[in-house]
Structure 1
Amino acid sequence: MKKALSLCMALFLSLALFTGCNNGASTPSPSAGTPSESTPVDSSSVSSTDFPNSPVKIIVARKAGGSADMVARMYAPYLQKALGVNVVVENVDGGSGKIGLSQAFRAAPDGYTLVLGNFPSYVLTQHIEGGVDYVMSDFEPIVGVSGNEGNVLIVPGDSPFNSVEELLAYDQENPGKLNMAVTSGLSNSSLAQAMFISQTKLQSATIPYDDGNSCVTAVMGKHVDMAVCSGVAAYQPASDGTIKVLCTFGPEEDDKLPDVPTFASMYGEEYAYDVVMGILAPPETPEDVLAILREAGLDAAQDPEFAAAAGDSFTVVPRNDEELAEVISGCYDLADSAKDLLASN
């Protein structure tokens, strides 16, 4: 069935190309979110009629062992089953995700190189910090994989602080004595930290770490008094009692963190955001290839075995390509509203 569909699409594309030559014009492919002046790789010579016939790679723009890496590696076997070819995960760390995203953006648009998008983090980096050769909204959205999770504020398991209120009371009486670990760069964690400080006037020092897991380790080892990290990094140690979660920055209470309040419930709905991860393809990937990737990607994300495998590690939230595009577009609005907040932090 897939082969027949691919052949039909190939005939359709051939007719479209012939008509385009006669008219002397071609139609650019649309992209969601903010327009780009970038020049993606030309896909006019890419043959896609037999896609896929070799392994597909998912780039994770962070080092192995982090939250994004966990999501990608748990998802890959189910995408592999749906596509019928091997799916491998490759970590390309550096520059708060910039190196891996640049590599994926410049990759041949043939469907064999994908990238895991982490939102709103990657939009914050591109739209606010800049200095990159990619635009997140120019990637082709394939499927949303995880969501309904926020960053969290954590302290050691035996910390004297059992609530945000207790922590702030100590900070007011002992200004400058506390320190906080946060993922480096313009990350989801740095957005949560900026929101927290803007409303609480916390006077702690900031200590940057490479990823959320490193922040959790620093808290467990009592190298820092607290940290803002991903919920994914915090779930297991919170369950073990080696850390305590004082609040979450998600829009709703997290089922994996019972009785933990949201920061928004204390300071307003505008101080909340959803962390979403999804699969993207390079710009100008052919439509027939995108159709195959999107169908297989959604099948994999909706596979009950995938949700069972994820368990309490993260929340599986399948989104089709249009829904993922809406998430990315909304992240640009969030970045615009948070720009001054992040600059003053």
Structure 2
Amino acid sequence: MKRRALLSLLPAGALAGALLPRLAGAQAAAPELPRTIRLVVGYPAGGTADAVARIYAEGLQKRLGINVIVDNKPGAGGQLAADQFRALRPDGSALLLGNSHMFSTLPLTSRTVRYDPVKDFAPVARLATFEVALAVSAEQPARSVKEYIALAKAHPQARSFGIPAAGSSPHFVGYVVGKQEGVELLPVPYKGGAPLLADLIGNQVPAGIDALGGFVASHKTGKIRILAVTGPRRSASVPEVPTFGELGYKSLGSSSWVGLFAPPGTPQAFIDRINAAVIEVAALPATTANLTTAGFDTAPSTPQQLHDAVRSELALWQPIIRESGFQID
């Protein structure tokens, strides 16, 4: 897949008459669901993506009266799961949990990505949004982004920041902050958020940037200190923490997302039924509470809105990634 291709972007009465019988038929023939749906997750069990998958799998199972099984297929930052998933039959037996990394930054940074995030998947519904957070070890003196930047400028060893994977959105959040402040911040890739958090708590790395959900519990117990979050507004999980936008980093004002996708060619009636169930599950107080605890915000959407989110994030990160010159391979 060429990365440039990612952004290539009857009279009224007769039309209304033609639509009426079709709508009536669609309402009368709701799609029959399989007895079991696999929810494929391209990340290990126990991580933040897995947490969202399990929250919704339980809710969808109850709403739809079928089995919804989380199937973890980790590897290459979700790339392996996405590549295998797009080749599945569009029979409703499997859904993919996709996120901003799999559909936005990874296709722009890796030459080995063979799928097209816009064309090779059928969007079903956004499940949640989440923020990316900058945090420092509790042993570091910085209590704000301004103080962290001053520390990094004065002490080169403080310029290192841990990230869950090279080429992830946390990688480029750090790039944007350093570029704007005129200091070269140095990303230190880890194999996931858990080892990053362990080293951040132990002050083996002075700062870290990762999905907010991985930091919240340690922030609340005082083991680390979250200094800022991405997104258009403060997170309900840590309302005391300012957004990057509030601090003047205007390009970091959008939220990342997690969503459901089906194989290309999946019948629209099936997609619409799953979408309606997602919206019902998202409205449950328990869903909101569980997502907030995990560092996410409830944010269901239409299939078209999820499609638009994929395209808008590609447009956001493409110039930043190009300017950075970074490539995974």
TM over 0.5: yes
Matched, 1:145 2:127: yes
Structure 1 residue 295, shift from structure 2 partner? 2.0
Q: In 1, are the aligned partners of 2:123 and 2:304 still within 8 Å (CA)?
A: yes
Q: Please, which of 285, 294, 299 is the counterpart of residue 317 of structure 1?
A: 299
Q: In 2, are the aligned partners of 1:198 and 1:341 still within 8 Å (CA)?
A: no
Structure 1 residue 154, shift from structure 2 partner? 0.7
In the alignment, the residues of structure 1 paired with residue 278 and residue 210 of structure 2 have an alpha-carbon distance, to the nearest angstrom, of: 28
Q: Please, which of 228, 235, 254 is the counterpart of residue 209 of structure 2?
A: 228
For 1:302, the equivalent position in structure 2 comes to: 283
For 1:17, the equivalent position in structure 2 comes to: none
Identical counterparts, % of pairs: 24
Structure 1 residue 344, shift from structure 2 partner? 5.7
Q: Amino acid of the residue matched to residue 336 of structure 1?
A: Q
> CA-atom RMSD, angstroms?
2.3
For 1:338, the equivalent position in structure 2 comes to: 320
For 1:28, the equivalent position in structure 2 comes to: none
1:203-222 superposed Cα distances (whole Å, 9 cap, x missing partner): 44432112233322221122
Q: In 1, are the aligned partners of 2:73 and 2:81 still within 8 Å (CA)?
A: yes
Structure 1 residue 276, shift from structure 2 partner? 0.8
Q: Please, which of 92, 108, 116 is the counterpart of residue 135 of structure 1?
A: 116
1:224-283 superposed Cα distances (whole Å, 9 cap, x missing partner): 111001011111111111110011122222232233222222234223321111111111
Q: Please, which of 189, 196, 209 is the counterpart of residue 215 of structure 1?
A: 196
* TM-score between both structures, scaled by the size of structure 2: 0.84
1:284-335 superposed Cα distances (whole Å, 9 cap, x missing partner): 1122322222222222222333223334222111112122122112112113
Q: In 2, are the aligned partners of 1:176 and 1:205 still within 8 Å (CA)?
A: no
For 2:138, the equivalent position in structure 1 comes to: 157
Gaps of 5+ in 2: 1-5, 10-28
Q: In 2, are the aligned partners of 1:155 and 1:161 still within 8 Å (CA)?
A: yes
Structure 1 residue 336, shift from structure 2 partner? 2.5
Q: Amino acid of the residue matched to residue 217 of structure 2?
A: Q
In the alignment, the residues of structure 1 paired with residue 138 and residue 251 of structure 2 have an alpha-carbon distance, to the nearest angstrom, of: 29
Structure 1 residue 94, shift from structure 2 partner? 1.1
For 2:308, the equivalent position in structure 1 comes to: 326
> Structure 1 residues 344 and 94 mapped into 2: Cα distance closer, same or farther (>3 Å)?
closer
Q: Which moved more, 1:130-139 or 1:272-281?
A: 130-139
Structure 1 residue 177, shift from structure 2 partner? 4.8
Q: Amino acid of the residue matched to residue 196 of structure 1?
A: V
Structure 1 residue 176, shift from structure 2 partner? 4.0
Q: In 1, are the aligned partners of 2:86 and 2:264 still within 8 Å (CA)?
A: yes
In the alignment, the residues of structure 2 paired with residue 96 and residue 202 of structure 1 have an alpha-carbon distance, to the nearest angstrom, of: 28
Structure 1 residue 123, shift from structure 2 partner? 1.6
> Structure 1 residues 232 and 100 mapped into 2: Cα distance closer, same or farther (>3 Å)?
same
Structure 1 residue 128, shift from structure 2 partner? 4.0
In the alignment, the residues of structure 1 paired with residue 143 and residue 253 of structure 2 have an alpha-carbon distance, to the nearest angstrom, of: 21
Q: Please, which of 97, 104, 115 is the counterpart of residue 123 of structure 1?
A: 104
For 2:223, the equivalent position in structure 1 comes to: 242
Matched, 1:81 2:62: yes
1:59-92 superposed Cα distances (whole Å, 9 cap, x missing partner): 1111122211111111110011122111111111
> Structure 1 residues 34 and 296 mapped into 2: Cα distance closer, same or farther (>3 Å)?
farther
In the alignment, the residues of structure 1 paired with residue 146 and residue 262 of structure 2 have an alpha-carbon distance, to the nearest angstrom, of: 44
For 1:29, the equivalent position in structure 2 comes to: none
Structure 1 residue 95, shift from structure 2 partner? 1.1
In the alignment, the residues of structure 2 paired with residue 71 and residue 212 of structure 1 have an alpha-carbon distance, to the nearest angstrom, of: 16
Gaps of 5+ in 1: 1-32, 37-47
